[in-house]
Structure 1
């Protein structure tokens, strides 16, 4: 069998090991993709460093790596609409396809899902991890055909490899019912999800995007994404009365929605406070998977103010196709991304860089074919 180059996670807390693996062979409904770009995000460093309650990692050693973009090299005999030479994004969310949620078009709620070569949260997901063991830190990977989205020439591979997190914010803002004339509050605006949310909200036509973050340099950079002042930010480290600032920015009404995406370091008590600032009839979208604590809202207050609090984990296949179309049309502008490229042999350097949390504008990309 032909061999390919891969980066393996052999032991938690230890560097990845560069080695060889057998080149995968397509099944009837599989697509073989030559990986041109693998995106690494801060959570990558967390996962390879130690065990986490509630998350089952692939059986070690495993070929690591989440989001991928590349070129189709081969397809199974029963694959339709995808052909060799196509440029594609490979969605790493593997699902069973047969459960209640999958059948109603909500694969993001599949109780048997896993993120390929990353983690699972159920016995069914742990089983799926074994079906497609090659992660994106590999010259080639195999994917179910339903997880492959076609890319237009206008979208480069590095940008497409970030779609897991950009898509998460896209799905979250759709749940928030963002659109023309709306005001959005983003908690954790300087992170991976936050930067994406600003760009998407601008594309959706939000009148004002209010961002809470820590790093003042990144906050200033975010404000420049709108030359007309639609993005306004505040640092949580300034000691400013943020609730009063929000009231001032919204003429006392509050934002139409909160997108909470602070992640690791998030504080459920503060999230509860920001939920309390949302306009009557508004929505709060929780995307901060690393936040700890419990959300506390008074029953009568929540009822009388008609606030909907929703979680968001991933996105649907239809949503990633929408996202691609909007980027291709120039409606959503991702030109703020600054790509940092690493060959496969330097994968550990890439993980170190992303672990240092360079901010949501930096896109750390491993190019396995180099």
Structure 2
């Protein structure tokens, strides 16, 4: 059987080991994708080092979440994908038979897991080992339904970031953002936050307020659209609710997006809900935040501010987002790609673990040449 190059996580906290694995063969409903790029985000560093409570696949595990590449082969029952097509591989795997999946809420599937990454619950541990090859591999297998076509105008390095870009896209839809509306982003300088600014600009938001800590990165965020985007450091000692209301005529923002990093203070999130205007919405995606988000009974009754969770996106949302990026409506040119060969995978994780900020896209290129086609 042909062999392929992979990077395996032997145990949390241990260096990944580069070696060989059998080249997979697609099942009847699967697609085999030749990986051009696998993006790493800061939380990847937390996961491989055991800093998160999530369930992982059996060790040694071929790690790697987000993948972009080209279709190498398709299963005998796949009828609408062809060899050679450029694709993004959605790593969110679901059972497709539970109550939530059957009513269209695949994001709530109790067995849901992220291929090559983790499962949020023990139930997901039953599914994650069915597709054991993550993106740190020359090839990945995927159910055909989880593969999204990419137009030629989108390069594969950018597309390898679509898991986190898509997370922000879906969350802003849930928060009710649209043309002419205002948005507050808590955690604006991170991977999710910077993507949310670009998406919100494309959605027609007229005022985007960003809260973060790193003043240098906050200024870079502001420069994405001076005038429409304003930022502030949470370490400035300013009343953030009052600051947001002052910039929205005293009524508050239409929507709030909370995307704090691992260990973020949920108490700050709870306080910032008071910066959302009556009848507005909020979307929370910070799976590593610590603490409680609370509203009093009267706040819920009289202010009607809805806080929703948003952990991923669905197929319709990723296709819609890709179309908007391809048309130039959403501009992702802010990304600075930092590429590593598969042999440099541990250096890549060390770099992304240093939290370079949401403008930098850390990408591992599993191909032998160490370069990926655009």
TM-score calculated relative to the size of structure 1: 0.98
Cα deviation for residue 145 of structure 1 reads 0.2
CA distance in 2, matches of 1:185, 1:52: 27
Within-5 A mapping of 1:178-217: 178-217=177-216
- Equivalence for 1:58: 57
CA distance in 1, matches of 2:21, 2:303: 57
- Equivalence for 2:87: 88
Residue among 269, 273, 276 paired with 2:274: 276
Alignment check: 8 A CA contact 2:157 2:337 kept: yes
Within-5 A mapping of 1:16-55: 16-50=16-50, 52-53=52-53, 55=54
Aligned length: 368
CA distance in 2, matches of 1:301, 1:43: 33
- Equivalence for 2:289: 291
- Equivalence for 1:158: 157
Give the unaligned 5+ runs of structure 1: none
- Equivalence for 1:118: 117
Q: Secondary structure at the match of 2:276?
A: coil
Greater shift, 6-15 or 240-249, is seen at 240-249
CA distance in 1, matches of 2:42, 2:321: 23
Give the unaligned 5+ runs of structure 2: none
- Equivalence for 2:330: 332
Cα deviation for residue 52 of structure 1 reads 3.5
Within-5 A mapping of 1:243-322: 243-322=241-320
Post-superposition Cα deviations, 1:18-47, rounded to whole Å, max 9, x if no partner, equal: 000000011000100000000000111111
CA distance in 2, matches of 1:154, 1:298: 48
**Cα gap change, 1:264/1:52 in structure 2, threshold over 3 Å: closer, same or farther?**
closer
- 1:350 aligned to 2:323? no
TM-score calculated relative to the size of structure 2: 0.97
Cα deviation for residue 108 of structure 1 reads 1.1
Cα deviation for residue 102 of structure 1 reads 1.4
Post-superposition Cα deviations, 1:311-345, rounded to whole Å, max 9, x if no partner, equal: 11000010000000000000000000000000100
- Equivalence for 1:241: 239
- 1:362 aligned to 2:360? yes
Q: CA RMSD in A?
A: 1.0
Q: Secondary structure at the match of 2:337?
A: strand
CA distance in 2, matches of 1:190, 1:184: 15
Cα deviation for residue 123 of structure 1 reads 4.0
Alignment check: 8 A CA contact 1:263 1:287 kept: no
